[in-house]
Structure 1
Amino acid sequence: METTSPVERLLRGVALTLVVVFFMFPIVWIFLMSFQTNETILRIPPSVVFSPTLENYAALITGKLQTASGTLDIAFMRNLGNSVLLSVASVAVALLLGVPAAYAFARHKFKGSEDIAFTLLSFRFAPPLLVLLPLTQYFQWLGLSNTYFGLIWIYQLICLPLILWIVRGYFEDISADVEYAYRIAGHSWFSTFRKIALPLAGPGIAAAGLLAFIFAWNNFVFALVLASADKQPVTVGALAFVTASGIQYGQIAAAIVLSITPTLALALYAQRYLVEGLSLGAVKG
């Protein structure tokens, strides 16, 4: 049995500590900034010693932002609610469409199946600016501009390719013999899919849904152009903190803390499924 010396353990501990500090420092610094005023944040040299304040969070919750030129009305909490609505609804629609499609691509090989699957994946490769102008015109013709339905439609197109390819890899990793044995007992394709394939692919579906939620939550360009202020998510609503009288760094930091909390909580809750989904489903697909 191979053992490590105390020096090796010490070096590994130091290396691990450096890695953690490197990646966690920006988050910790933003968190500290959220409890400071602009004057404290901009002082030189910066200091971690300060008198904390909840004014930044109070401004976000009440919708009243104090600036040098007066009080500015903001709708951050409504934007935060819009982000939750758009992300959850788009992921739900993408899962409803993508999981059966992934099962079909994994179990039923037909002419052109790989081309169709790759075409769907290519939607992730296309830069948003490439399709933004035609989408804007289509939305105007169809009356979908500045509607939740239109934004959810676009968001699920962002989530669908990711879910399709990750979940497809999980279905391919499941032995087809288990499903064949269940079908021989007289059960239908749909019953096999619902009672055998779905439970076995549960971790992959959870990982794909989590990743899709993060992608939808972080989207910026489509909501900026296709929706007005009352329908925009928090990523666009954060622009309100850049005012003519200056940039409200404290409120921006507090907004970042509040906006990353849902995705961070989901990632911590489902991190085991996330790692497994990335290491299996994404590779096999």
Structure 2
Amino acid sequence: MEPPEMMRESPLSRILRGLALLVVALFFLFPIFWVLLMSFQTNEQILRIPPSLFFEPTLGNYVALVSGKLETAAGTLEIPFMRNLGNSVLLSAVSVALSLVLGVPAAYAFARFRFRLGENIAFTLLSFRFAPPLLVLLPLSLYFQDLGLNDTYTGLIWVYQLISLPLILWIVRGYFEDISPDIEHAYRIDGHSWWRTFTRIALPLARPGIAAAALLAFIFCWNNFIFALILASADKQPVTVGALAFVTASGIQYGQIAAAVILSVTPTLLLALYAQRYLVEGLSLGAVKG
């Protein structure tokens, strides 16, 4: 075994590692930093050649988004960006919550019980993620018209289950499978019911995995574009579709687009920061076997 002084990292190694991490961080964060700078510039400042890091900042882009009034060469354009942002929060949050209610018990059932055609059913649910959205849009739009779900929040939340439910089902199923069933058996021997065992033992142990799956499902729902574009009108469309309004007849409003990107990224970023500790626990779940 090497002595402790031989295992210590040299100062030069720490410096080189720090520089390498700094280069990688700058490489991935620079586009976000540049978009942030663009959000405080006018179109003239953004399009000037050569570009410059020094400029007189303005809050006009954010004011236009919050007020819903975009000044263009052709006049004032009404843009309900904040309504679109609220639609994204509503659709993504409710869709993920419904998927958790349906998907987590189903994932536990697939992980703990073996029944006929169980794997086929699970794979069929996963196959919904493989199918391109355009494949199901036409029959969905026809069904929604017959059922009165076209251009409704209920219809969009239902469609979003094609995105979030299979993802949560398969990810959470893997975490339940990593949990030893002996813990649950010991709890059941004490006379507790299956439901109490599920809520008191299985759910707390799989909480990091559930949080990770919910975060990923929320991001996928948030980024969805095609479903809301076809199945909803302007007052119910999320921010991904509402951003099309910045491409006007008088040109592309780059400053407003950059501000819209910053505002639309903020909710998912805050959610990821909040769930960070669960993600770390989820990645390490099952790494140490007793």
The TM-score, its normalising length taken from structure 2, stands at 0.94
Q: Does 1:250 align with 2:255?
A: yes
2:267 corresponds in structure 1 to 262
Instruction: State the match for 1:137 in structure 2.
Output: 142
1:114 aligns to what?
A: 119
For 1:158 and 1:255, how far apart are their aligned partners in 2? 24
Matching residue within 150, 156, 164 for 1:159: 164
Residue 100 (structure 1) aligned with residue 109 (structure 2):
no
Amino acid at match of 1:186: G
Assess if the C-alpha contact under 8 Å between 1:166 and 1:277 holds in 2. no
Q: Distance in 1 between matches of 2:245 and 2:124?
A: 37
CA distance in 2, matches of 1:259, 1:74: 15
Instruction: Output the CA distance in 2 between the equivalents of 1:270 and 1:20.
Output: 21
Q: Which amino acid aligns with 2:114?
A: K
**Aligned counterpart, 2:92:** 87
Say which is worse superposed, 16-25 or 125-134, in terms of deviation.
Answer: 125-134
Which of these residues, 202, 211, 214, is aligned with residue 206 of structure 1? 211
- 2:28 equivalent in structure 1: 23
Matched, 1:192 2:184: no
1:176 to 178, 181, 189: 181
Name stretches of at least 5 consecutive residues in structure 2 with no aligned partner: none
Alignment partner of 1:13 is 2:18? yes
Q: Give the CA deviation at 1:279.
A: 6.4
Q: Distance in 1 between matches of 2:14 and 2:259?
A: 38
Cα distance in 1 for residues equivalent to 2:202 and 2:96: 20
- Aligned pairs, number: 281
Aligned-residue identity in percent: 77
The amino acid that maps onto 1:273 is Y
SS of 1:230's equivalent? helix
User: Over aligned residue pairs, what C-alpha RMSD do you find?
Assistant: 1.3
Report how far residue 169 of structure 1 moved. Answer: 1.1
Structure 1 contact 223–232 (Cα < 8 Å) conserved:
yes
**Mapped partners of 1:165, 1:278: distance in 2:** 15
1:51 maps onto 2:56 in alignment: yes
* Partner Cα separation in structure 1 for residue 80 and residue 133 of structure 2: 26
Please show how residues 56-71 of structure 1 align to structure 2 within 5 Å: 56-71=61-76
| 2:207 and 2:278 in contact (8 A); partners too | no
Secondary structure at 1:72's aligned position in 2?
strand
For the 8 Å contact 2:107–2:169, the answer to whether it is kept is yes
Residue 221 of structure 1, aligned match among 208, 226, 230: 226
The answer to whether the Cα contact below 8 Å between 1:80 and 1:234 also exists between their aligned partners in 2 is yes
Provide the rounded CA distance (Å) in 1 between the counterparts of 2:68 and 2:185: 58
CA contact (8 A) 1:64 1:72 kept: yes
Cα distance in 1, alignment partners of residues 18 and 193 from structure 2? 55
Deviations 1:106-144 (A, max 9, x none): 110112111111111111111111111111111112111
8 Å contact kept, 1:99–1:164: yes
In terms of mean alpha carbon deviation, does 120-129 or 255-264 score higher? 120-129
Per the alignment, in what secondary structure is the counterpart of residue 209 of structure 2? helix
